[in-house]
Amino acid sequence: MDFINAIILLLNYTVIPALTYGSQLALGAIFVTLVYGILRFANFATGDMMSFGTMVAVLLTFYFQSLGISFGFLPTALLTIPPAILAMIFYMLFIDKFVFSYYRIKKSPPVQLAMVSVGVMFVTQAIIRIIIGPFDRRFFDGEKFILKAKEFKEMTGLNEGLAIKSTQAITIFVTVIVVSIMFWFLNRTKTGTSMRAYSDNEDLALLSGIDPKKVVLITWIIAGILATIGGVLYGLDKSYRPFVYFNNMLPIFAAAIVGGIGNPFGAFLGGYVIAFAEILVTYAYKKFFTYLLPEFMEPDSLMQLLSTDYKFAVSFSILVIVLLFRPSGIFKGKTL
Amino acid sequence: MMQHKNIIAAYSIMILLIIAVGILQSWTIALTILNYCLISAVMTIGANIQWGYAGLINFGIMGYTALGGLAAVLVNVPPVKEAWKAGGLGMVVSLILIISGVYIIRTVLRKFENSKKKNYIVAAIIIIGFVIIRYISGPAIENIEAVDPAKTGFLGGLGLPIIFSWIVGGLFAAGIAFIVGKIALGLRADYLAIATLLIAEIIVSIIKHEDWLARGVKNVIGLKRPVPYEVDLQGSTWFIDLVEKFHSKKLDLITSLSERQDVLNQLVIDASSVYVKLCLAGLFLTVVIILLILTQKALYSPWGRKMRAIRDNEVAANAMGKNVVKEHLLIFILGSAIVGIAGAMMVTNDGLFTPGSYRPMRYTFVIWVMVIVGGTGNNFGAILGGFVVWFLWVEAAPIALFFINFFTSHLEETNALKAHLIQSAAYFRFLLVGIGLLIIMRYRPKGIIPEKINIKKI
């Protein structure tokens, strides 16, 4: 019994939150990796682009709520994702047309494009803050829990409760669907194959008649979908605040590089690697060991490897270790 | 010749702008802007050495600035004796353990150079060392932080004049830059940017959360200035006489004696803050000029030519027998050290150390915009960039407010759009700086004052 209690404890406090957070990171990391692989630059505006999509969703949610439209027990924000994606794609294509395409056609070095993306980051942040302001906004509505800790305890008769928030279930479910469709698209359709070819060898792809404009267009469309969904899921789970989205860019970058940049599958797993590392290293294992060990061996301290203040630092340290020992990432990405 | 004229014109415009602020707003604001411009200029010199001379992207400027600030605290604050008694021994032992651990790892790496066991041995040493250090330092940290937590709760510093911290800050930053450079410098340009940014985040989060070191997010206030205090000035007769002489014409017009005294008091209060800021500006200007002379000399020396050769063609420079790795590391350390000096100067200027304020937006990206807008590879350009961008960054809100009022003047005061725009006037600084960067990158990719290389003709 104690063993099952310990497992449930871990599930409740580490595995489920890590899966949720990892899914949110994974969507962002695939976005980074696609832009890096096909458009060939590190996009420093990643976090703020996600923030832009989420902002549209938040505003629409408030509008829908004022109209009295709701989505039953699911959050209204899910209804607003499609229009938000459209707005996001429109914004990205607009930026691409007036900013990025010039440097792409000129074949500027990636560093210059990265610097340009810093400029885009500033502008996007300004637009977001001018439209919605820098404040914390909660836009979650609907049923809060799928499974409450108390219900679980009554159901099973265990000491430890297992609570599943509906945002956690939605996040994992939506991520699995979106990512599977995306991998199917990249691996099985002709357009997807041409995108991969373009990413592998641009000149060869152009020779075999692949239209670069189309590849770039589709890349931004997929990027828009991933960015918006990732952003909205994060906002639903925690809350929407522009500054936090900018900060999230850093673990997202870490996930993309750890997984092997330019490799979408690596980025997907990289998100979970980062999330699990952050949560497992900063979790206090005292209660867990109290269940498992006999009474005389019970630990006095919190059994915490690092305090939760160092959450971000953990993911960055993993990145440093990966860069030292396997610079191309866990799953081989583009060589450095 | 053209270039010299451009430089002089650009700097004259900048100085006129600051004087305009002094006349239109107030001299205190103008001098505050000037001081921050000078500090930014030091930072841009550091970033420009790395990016302009050697083509290294260092997005970790934030981390080195914070290290400089930390140095200011550790040099200036008097030591907290009770804290040293409570846990000083434990911390010293931990420090010795860390240093010896690093040495052991180095010897292991040398001995087992080609063995696969090496990684496991290093990992084992790190894990065992971590556990031992946690065991020793844990209680020590708790004891230190328990010493009068509202005021101290940290080990304190050396109690020396804060001006020494400018050198110490440079040394701190150089030391960390050596380690970071060893780890990250082999990476391709944009990876290097990301890696340095994330390592800087680690540095800042350590400074933020290790309260025994510099109180963490509880901030350290009341650092001693190297220049006189306003209150002392207001009480000293020579200063009052000086102000009286300076404003004698204005004061002579006032006939009533008590009224004259009131006006004089107000003038003295204003003048004291201006005087303090002028003193600081003098100190900062000295640093900027010294660094400018040194960097200019370096740029046109054989060493500078070597750096340009490495930047423009690494492979060819390597083939000519230049040690690219060593030179990259050296320039990474030099640039970071200069940024560290700027960090200490900033804390000196503010008189307080707030680790929570070190954010990548303000201390990495804005500095980079300065370098690119000003002119990469040209020190005069980089300094000008520091002035222009900081000026825009500060004055964007008033300018935006002016335009908002101008364009919405036909709307009523209660109009929702107008109220919303006025409320968000502060965020137009992001828009202004971002669009400025995009325009410069598109139409003048080498910056306002581009790099100029003299090629001698036969």
B90 and B211 inside one domain: no
pLDDT at A332 over 60: yes
CB-CB neighbors (< 8 A) of A97 in chain B: none
State whether B197 and A310 contact (CB < 8 Å): no
Of B119, B368, B424, nearest to A129 by CB-CB distance is: B424
C-alpha closest to that of B269 among B100, B52, B28, B442: B28
Name the minimum distance, in Å, from the CA of A91 to any CA of chain B: 16
Instruction: Detail the DSSP E strand segments found in A96-197.
Output: 145-147, 164-165
Would you place residue B142 in the very low, low, confident or very high pLDDT band (cuts 50, 70, 90)? Answer: confident
pLDDT at A302 over 80: no
Domain membership of residue B24 as a residue range? 2-79+156-408+415-443
pLDDT at B323 over 80: yes
Share of chain B above pLDDT 70, in %: 98
Of A41, A118, A313, nearest to B437 by CB-CB distance is: A118
Number of domains within chain B = 2
pLDDT at B234 over 50: yes
**Domain assignment present for B198:** yes
Cα–Cα distance, B401 to B116 (Å, whole number): 64
- The residue count of chain A comes to 336
**Domain assignment present for B452:** no
**Domain assignment present for B402:** yes
Provide the ipTM.
Answer: 0.89
B28 and B135 inside one domain: no
State whether B183 and A324 contact (CB < 8 Å): yes
B240 and B301 inside one domain: yes
Contacts of B435 (CB under 8 A, 6+ apart): A119, A122, A123
- Over residues A34-54, the pLDDT tens digits come to 999 898 889 999 999 999 999
B132 and B26 inside one domain: no
CATH of A2-276, one of 1.10.3470, 4.10.240, 3.90.550, 1.10.287: 1.10.3470
Instruction: Name the residue in chain A with its Cα closest to that of B138.
Output: A301
- Which residue among B155, B183, B206 closes a domain? B155
C-alpha closest to that of B171 among B36, B10, B18, B343: B343
Cα–Cα distance, B325 to B125 (Å, whole number): 28
DSSP SS3 for B453: coil
Which residue type occupies B346?
M
State whether B427 and A109 contact (CB < 8 Å): no
B336 and B419 inside one domain: yes
Site of tokens 């991969």: A196
Residue that wins the pLDDT comparison between B153 and B78: B78
Cβ A269 vs Cβ A330: under 8 Å:
yes
Report the run of H or E that residue A311 belongs to, with start and end.
Answer: helix A311-325
Q: What is the pLDDT of residue B221?
A: 85
Average pLDDT over residues B125-150: 83
B139 and B173 inside one domain: no
Name the minimum distance, in Å, from the CA of A144 to any CA of chain B: 33
Q: What is the pTM of this model?
A: 0.90
Of A122, A254, A316, nearest to B433 by CB-CB distance is: A122
- Which residue among B136, B155, B174 closes a domain? B155
Average pLDDT over residues B313-334: 91
Instruction: Name the residue in chain A with its Cα closest to that of B127.
Output: A305
Bridge partners (DSSP) of residue A165 are A145
Would you place residue A335 in the very low, low, confident or very high pLDDT band (cuts 50, 70, 90)? Answer: very low
CB-CB neighbors (< 8 A) of B192 in chain A: none
DSSP SS3 for A284: strand
Lowest mean pLDDT among A155-159, A298-302, B369-373: A298-302
How many Cα neighbours within 13 Å face the side chain of B70?
33
Q: What letters, b where the CB count within 10 A reaches 16 and e where it falls short, cover B183-192?
A: ebbebeebbb
The C-alpha angle A267, A269, A270, rounded to 5 degrees, equals 60
B118 and B149 inside one domain: yes
C-alpha closest to that of B403 among B386, B416, B387, B421: B421
Q: What is the pLDDT of residue A29?
A: 94
Domain ranges in chain A are: 2-276
CB-CB neighbors (< 8 A) of B57 in chain A: 111, 114
B26 and B87 inside one domain: no
Residue that wins the pLDDT comparison between A114 and A286: A114
Backbone dihedral angles phi then psi of residue A42, each to the nearest 5 degrees: -80, 115
Q: What is the pLDDT of residue A71?
A: 82
Average pLDDT over residues A161-173: 90
Cα–Cα distance, B21 to B394 (Å, whole number): 11
Output the domain CATH number for residue B386.
1.10.3470
Using DSSP bridges, classify how beta strands A164-165 and A145-147 pair: parallel, antiparallel or unpaired: antiparallel
CB-CB neighbors (< 8 A) of B441 in chain A: 112, 115-116, 119
Residue that wins the pLDDT comparison between A269 and A154: A269
B130 and B171 inside one domain: no
**Domain assignment present for B27:** yes
Instruction: Detail the DSSP E strand segments found in A17-172.
Output: 145-147, 164-165
- Interface residue of A33, A115, A244, A257 to substitute, partner B, most B CBs within 10 Å: A115
Q: What is the pLDDT of residue B1?
A: 52
- B167 to each of B70, B72, B261, how far by Cα in Å? 12, 10, 44
B354 and B292 inside one domain: yes
Cβ B277 vs Cβ B31: under 8 Å:
yes
- Over residues A179-216, the pLDDT tens digits come to 999 999 998 999 999 998 888 888 888 899 889 899 99
B67 and B116 inside one domain: no
Of B119, B206, B430, nearest to A122 by CB-CB distance is: B430
B149 and B294 inside one domain: no
State whether A127 and B369 contact (CB < 8 Å): no
Q: Which residues of B touch A (CB under 8 A)?
A: 57, 119, 183-184, 186-191, 193-195, 197-199, 201-202, 205-206, 208-209, 361, 365, 368-369, 372, 421, 423-424, 427-431, 433-435, 437-438, 441-442, 445
- Which residue among B155, B179, B214 closes a domain? B155
Cβ A163 vs Cβ A174: under 8 Å:
no
